[in-house]
Homo-oligomer: A and B are copies of this chain.
Amino acid sequence: MAPDTGDPAPSGRPATSVDVARLAGVSQATVSYVLNDAPGVTISEATRARVRAAAEELGYAPDASARTLRTGRSDIVLMPLLAAPIGTLVLSLLNELVERLREHGLTLALYGDARSRGVVAARDWTRWRPAAVVVEAHRLTAASVRRLHDAGCATVVGLGAEPSPLVPTMVIDDGEIGAAAARHLLGRGRRNLAAVVPAERGLDAFGERRLGGVTAAAQAAGAAVRCVDLPFDEDAAARLAAGWAAGGARPDGVFAYNDEYAMLLMRALQDAGLDVPGDISVVGADDLPLGRFLRPRLSTVRVAGDVTAAGLAERLARMVAERERDPAVTVSLTRVEMVPRESS
C-alpha cells in the first residue's frame, strides 16, 4: 500500500475555507467564489490557481452542514425505510442507485422508520433539508407533501402500485407480472388457470397485485381463474397437490407468486404423481438462477431490475434539478419479460 500522502497537516481539525483563504492570501469569500465557480464574479486566473493549490494542500472539503444551513438545501435524497420487506428488486436498485445519484452530486440516505406517516413523518424527514424524498406513496398526505415542499425539498417522489394524486410517482406494478404469466399460459392453450398467492402477511399486498394482473388478463381472454392461498410450507403444498391429483377441480395452468412458491408447488405436484407441464403448467416470477436447475426447468417472469436502476437515478436527478412536482408524472419501474422454459 502506498504511504498515503496528501495530508501535510497530519493532525488537527479539518481545514475550513478560512484556512484556505489564509494560506492563499485572499479572503474567505474569494475561496468560496473560486471553488464553486460562481457565475457573475470575476476572479483572475492567477488567484484561482493559488486558491485551488491551497485547497489541495490542506485537503479542504466544504462542510456539508454549514453549506446546507446557508443554502437551505442539502444534496441528500432521503429514502425512508420501506415498510414492505426489501426484495431483490429494490436491492438490485439500491446498489446501482447510490452510485448513479452520486454522479449527479446527490447522496442517498436511508432513514430509519418504516411506519410513521403524514405530517409527523414529514417533520422528521425535513430535518436534513433533503433535496428530494422518495417514499412509499401511501405514507404521504397533502399536508405532509406541503410541509416537505415548504422545507425546500425540490421534489417528493412516491413509490407505489399506482400513480399518486399528490406527487409524481414511480410505479411498481406487480399486476404486469401476473398478466404476462397469464397471457403466456393462455397462449399455450391453458384455459383453466390458478394463481397461487402467499398466505403470509407482508407479502399479501404484492400477491394481491400479481393476482389482479392474472385475473384481468384471463378475463380479457374469457378464461377462468381461481385463487389459492398457500403458506410457504411443504405440508400445505402436499395437501394442495394431493387434492388436485385426486379431484376434478384441477387447473391446467398455475401462476405462482414467485419462483420460490413455484418450486415449492412443482415439487409437491411431482411428489403427488402429476406431470409438469403435462398435467399442469407452472410459471413463477423473479427469474431466480435456480429455476434453470429444476427438472423441468422453471418458466418465469423476469422483472428487469438493473435496467431501470440507472434510469431511475437519472430520472430522480432530473426531477430534483427541475423541481418536478406534477402528480401527473409517472415512471414505470416494471419492465416485464416472460422467460418460457420447460415447466409450461
Instruction: Please state if A63 and B59 are interface contacts (CB–CB under 8 Å).
Output: no
| Chain B residues in 8 Å Cβ range of A277 | none
Instruction: Please state if B99 and A112 are interface contacts (CB–CB under 8 Å).
Output: yes
A118 at the binding interface (Cβ < 8 Å): yes
Instruction: Please state if A65 and B128 are interface contacts (CB–CB under 8 Å).
Output: yes
Instruction: Please state if A98 and B127 are interface contacts (CB–CB under 8 Å).
Output: no
Instruction: Please state if B119 and A6 are interface contacts (CB–CB under 8 Å).
Output: yes
- When the two chains form the complex, which single residue of B10, B142, B150 contacts A146, counting CB atoms closer than 8 Å? B10
Q: Which of A117-175 contact B (CB under 8 A)?
A: 118-120, 123-124, 126-129, 141-144, 146-147, 150-152
Residue of B nearest to A68 (CB): B65
Shortest Cβ gap from A54 to chain B (Å): 15
Provided the pairs A6-B120, A59-B147 are in contact, do residues A111 and B95 lie with their beta carbons within 8 angstroms? no
- When the two chains form the complex, which single residue of B12, B74, B99, B294 contacts A113, counting CB atoms closer than 8 Å? B99
Provided the pairs A6-B120, A113-B99, A293-B264 are in contact, do residues A69 and B63 lie with their beta carbons within 8 angstroms? yes
Shortest Cβ gap from A148 to chain B (Å): 10
| Chain B residues in 8 Å Cβ range of A94 | 86, 110
Shortest Cβ gap from A75 to chain B (Å): 10
| Chain B residues in 8 Å Cβ range of A111 | 98, 102, 107-108
A222 at the binding interface (Cβ < 8 Å): no
- Give A residues with C-beta under 8 Å from B: 1-2, 4-7, 10-14, 59, 61-66, 68-69, 74, 76, 81, 85-86, 91, 94-95, 98-99, 101-102, 107-114, 118-120, 123-124, 126-129, 141-144, 146-147, 150-152, 232, 234, 260, 263-264, 267, 288-290, 292-295
Instruction: Please state if A112 and B120 are interface contacts (CB–CB under 8 Å).
Output: no
Shortest Cβ gap from A164 to chain B (Å): 13
Beyond A62-B127, A63-B127, 11 extra complex contacts between A and B, CB < 8 Å: A7-B146, A11-B146, A13-B150, A13-B151, A61-B123, A61-B124, A65-B66, A65-B68, A69-B69, A91-B91, A107-B109
Q: List 11 A-B contacts (CB under 8 A).
A: A5-B119, A7-B146, A12-B150, A59-B147, A61-B127, A66-B69, A91-B91, A98-B110, A232-B289, A267-B293, A288-B290
Q: Which of A63, A74, A294 has the most CB of B within 10 A?
A: A63
Q: Please name the 6 residue pairs, one residue from A and one from B, whose CB atoms are nearest each other, closest first.
A: A102-B112, A65-B68, A65-B65, A109-B109, A4-B141, A98-B112
Instruction: Please state if B112 and A101 are interface contacts (CB–CB under 8 Å).
Output: yes
Instruction: Please state if A65 and B61 are interface contacts (CB–CB under 8 Å).
Output: no
- Could you tell me the distance between the alpha carbons of A221 and B35 in the complex, rounded to whole angstroms? 63
Shortest Cβ gap from A201 to chain B (Å): 16
Instruction: Please state if B143 and A7 are interface contacts (CB–CB under 8 Å).
Output: yes
Residue of B nearest to A61 (CB): B123
Shortest Cβ gap from A154 to chain B (Å): 15
Shortest Cβ gap from A160 to chain B (Å): 14
Shortest Cβ gap from A16 to chain B (Å): 11
| Chain B residues in 8 Å Cβ range of A91 | 86, 91
| Chain B residues in 8 Å Cβ range of A1 | 141
Provided the pairs A7-B147, A59-B147, A260-B290 are in contact, do residues A95 and B99 lie with their beta carbons within 8 angstroms? no
